[in-house]
C-alpha cells in the first residue's frame, strides 16, 4: 500500500443530527492518524426532514427518496470542503467510508412479535461517488444484520484495533445521541454494546424548555437535583436489563417515552428532569461497565458528550477507582473517533477484511461490510 493511497475519508452523521463529521484519515495496518477534519453544517430544513422521516408518516417513499439524494449531495459537499481545506486532491484519496443518516434501527434485540429486524441509513452513495469522483463504501450495517447481528455498534472493532493496549483493561465509551461502550481486555475485544441514551434525551429536553440545541457543558443539568423516584422509573426500562449483543436508538429513547414516564409524577421542575436525565445516561453507562466480567481500570470517552463537563464529572465518580478521561489522552481527538471509524471500516472493506465483531453484534460470523460504489 503506497503512502498516498492510504488516505481515506470518514463521514458520520449520528442520531444527534447536529452536523456531518468528516475526517481525512491515514490508515496503515492498525495505526490510524487523523490528518484533517471538517464539520459540515446540516441545513435546518434537512434536519427537519430527517426528524420527520425517522418515524412513520404519509408519503414516506417519496420523502425518503428525495432526502436520500439531498443527503448524498451534502455528504459529497462535506468531503469536497474537507479536501479543499486540507489541500488534498480527490485522486489522492483511496475511498470514502460513509455511515449515512440512520432513519430506522430495529435490531433483532428490539424486534417484537416476529417483526423483521432492519436498519436503514440514507445518503445516496452513488451521488457521493459521482460528485466527488472517489470510491465510496456505504451501507455498513445491513450485512451484519443479514447475518443475524444487531448491525450495531460497529465502533468496538475500531476501538480494539486502535485504542487498546496490552495488559490494560480499558473501556471506550462514545457518548453521541445514543451511548455505546467497548470493553477491552488488553488488545482483545471482550464486549461492545449500546448502553442506552447518551445526549438524545438531554438535547430534546433542553430544546423544549430553553430553545437551545444542547445543554452546553451540562451547566443547566448541574444546577438541578436528581429526582430519585423518576431515575428509578427510567432505569426500569427493559433495555437496561438486557445482556449480550444489544443496540438501541431514538425509536426507544425519545420524549414520547419520557413524557409517558413523567405522567406518573407531578410537578418535577424542568431543570431537575434534565439533571435526572444526565444521571440516567451516566448510571446506565457505569452500571454496564461495572457489570462486565473484568475490572476496568481506564475509561476513555469520545463523542460530543465528552464536552459535557457535568457528565464527565459524574462518570468519574460512578466509575471510580477507574480513571475517566477523553480519548485525547490516547492521542485521538474525541470529536473525530466516529468519523475515523468509518474511514477505517472502508479500508477494511476494500482490503476484503471483516468489519464487524461477532462478539459484539451477535452475527453468525465475521463479514466484509458495506457496498462499494466506484469513483472516477
Ligand atoms: N460543549 C458541550 N456541552 C454539552 N454537550 C455537548 C457539547 N458539545 C457537544 N455536545 C453534545 O454532543 C452532541 C453531539 O455529539 P455527537 O458525538 O456528534 O453525536 P451523534 O453521533 O449522535 O451525532 C450534541 O448534540 C450535544 O448533546
Ligand atoms: Mg454528530
> Could you read off the pLDDT of 267-298 as tens digits, one per residue?
999 999 999 999 999 999 999 999 999 999 99
Ligand 1, atom 11: nearest CA belongs to which residue? 304
pLDDT at position 358, please?
A: 98
pLDDT of amino acid 224: 98
Residue 4 confidence (pLDDT): 41
Residue written as cell 459537499? 77
Cβ–Cβ < 8 Å for 300, 173: yes
Tell me the percentage of the chain whose pLDDT exceeds 90: 95
Question: For ligand 1, what atom is nearest to the CA of residue 302?
Answer: 17
Ligand 1 probe mutation, 202, 305, 309, most atoms within 8 A of CB: 305
pTM of the model: 0.96
For the stretch 133-142, pLDDT in tens is: 999 999 999 9
pLDDT at residue number 309? 98
Q: How confident is the model at residue 2 (pLDDT cuts 50, 70, 90)?
A: very low
Show the CA angle centred on residue 226, arms to residues 221 and 231, nearest 5°. Answer: 115
Q: What is the mean pLDDT of the segment spanning 242-265?
A: 96
Cβ pair 363, 149 in contact under 8 A: yes
Residues of the chain with pLDDT > 70: what percent? 99
What is the pLDDT averaged over residues 92-116? 92
- Ligand 1 atom 10 nearest Cα: 304
What mean pLDDT, rounded, does the chain reach? 96
Mean pLDDT of 170-197: 98
Question: Over 60: is that where the pLDDT of 3 sits?
Answer: no
Cα 141 to Cα 84, 107, 295: the distances in Å are 29, 10, 30
Query: 115: pLDDT confidence band, cut at 50, 70 and 90?
Result: confident
Residues whose CB falls within 8 Å of the CB of residue 86, separated by 6 or more in sequence, listed in order: 24, 35, 36
Domains with residue ranges and CATH for the chain = 3-151+336-373 (3.30.420.40), 164-330 (3.30.420.40)
Stretch 57-85: mean pLDDT, rounded?
A: 98
pLDDT value, residue 295: 98
| Cβ < 5 A residues, ion ligand 2 | 14, 16, 18
Ligand 1 contact via 150 beta carbon (within 6 Å): no
Cα–Cα distance, 80 to 348 (Å, whole number): 23
Point out the least confidently predicted range of 108-112, 182-186, 227-231, 339-343: 108-112
Task: Specify the higher pLDDT residue, 348 or 2.
Answer: 348
Query: Of 189, 132, 182, nearest to 153 (Cα)?
Result: 182
- What does the alpha-carbon distance between residue 106 and residue 125 come to, in Å, rounded to a whole number? 22
Give yes or no for residue 304 CB within 6 A of ligand 1.
Answer: yes
Amino acid at each position: 500500500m503506497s503512502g498516498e493511497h492510504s488516505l481515506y475519508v470518514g463521514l458520520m452523521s449520528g442520531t444527534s443530527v447536529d452536523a456531518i463529521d468528516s475526517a481525512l484519515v491515514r490508515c496503515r495496518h492498525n495505526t490510524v492518524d487523523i490528518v484533517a477534519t471538517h464539520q459540515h453544517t446540516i441545513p435546518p430544513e434537512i434536519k427537519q426532514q430527517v426528524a420527520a422521516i425517522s418515524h412513520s408518516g404519509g408519503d414516506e417513499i417519496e420523502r425518503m427518496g428525495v432526502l436520500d439524494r439531498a443527503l448524498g449531495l451534502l455528504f459529497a459537499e462535506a468531503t469536497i470542503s474537507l479536501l479543499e481545506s486540507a489541500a488534498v486532491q480527490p485522486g489522492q484519496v483511496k475511498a470514502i467510508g460513509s455511515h449515512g443518516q440512520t432513519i430506522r434501527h430495529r435490531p433483532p434485540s428490539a424486534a417484537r412479535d416476529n417483526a423483521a429486524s432492519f436498519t436503514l441509513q440514507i445518503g445516496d452513495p452513488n451521488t457521493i461517488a459521482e460528485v466527488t469522483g472517489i470510491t465510496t463504501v456505504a451501507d455498513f450495517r445491513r450485512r451484519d444484520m443479514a447475518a443475524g447481528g444487531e448491525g450495531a455498534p460497529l465502533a468496538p472493532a475500531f476501538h480494539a484495533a486502535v485504542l487498546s493496549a496490552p495488559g490494560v483493561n480499558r473501556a471506550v465509551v462514545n457518548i453521541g445521541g445514543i451511548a455505546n461502550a467497548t470493553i477491552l481486555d488488553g488488545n482483545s475485544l471482550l464486549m461492545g454494546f449500546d448502553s442506552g441514551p447518551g445526549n438524545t434525551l438531554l438535547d430534546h429536553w433542553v430544546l423544549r424548555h430553553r430553545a437551545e440545541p444542547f445543554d452546553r457543558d451540562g451547566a443547566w443539568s448541574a444546577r438541578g437535583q436528581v429526582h430519585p423516584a423518576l431515575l428509578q422509573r427510567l432505569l426500569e426500562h427493559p433495555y437496561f436489563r438486557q445482556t449480550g449483543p444489544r443496540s438501541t436508538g431514538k425509536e426507544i429513547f425519545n420524549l414520547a417515552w419520557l413524557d409517558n414516564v413523567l405522567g406518573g409524577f407531578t410537578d418535577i421542575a424542568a431543570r431537575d428532569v434534565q439533571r435526572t436525565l444526565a444521571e440516567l445516561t451516566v448510571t446506565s453507562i457505569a452500571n454496564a461497565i461495572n457489570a462486565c466480567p473484568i475490572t476496568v481500570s481506564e475509561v476513555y470517552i469520545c463523542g460530543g458528550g465528552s464536552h459535557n463537563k457535568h457528565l464527565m464529572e459524574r462518570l468519574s465518580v460512578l466509575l471510580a477507582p477507574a480513571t475517566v478521561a477523553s480519548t485525547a489522552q490516547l492521542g485521538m481527538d474525541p470529536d473525530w473517533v466516529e468519523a475515523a471509524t468509518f474511514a477505517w471500516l472502508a479500508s477494511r472493506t476494500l482490503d476484503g477484511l471483516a468489519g464487524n465483531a461477532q462478539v459484539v453484534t451477535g452475527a453468525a460470523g465475521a463479514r466484509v461490510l458495506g457496498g462499494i460504489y466506484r469513483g472516477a
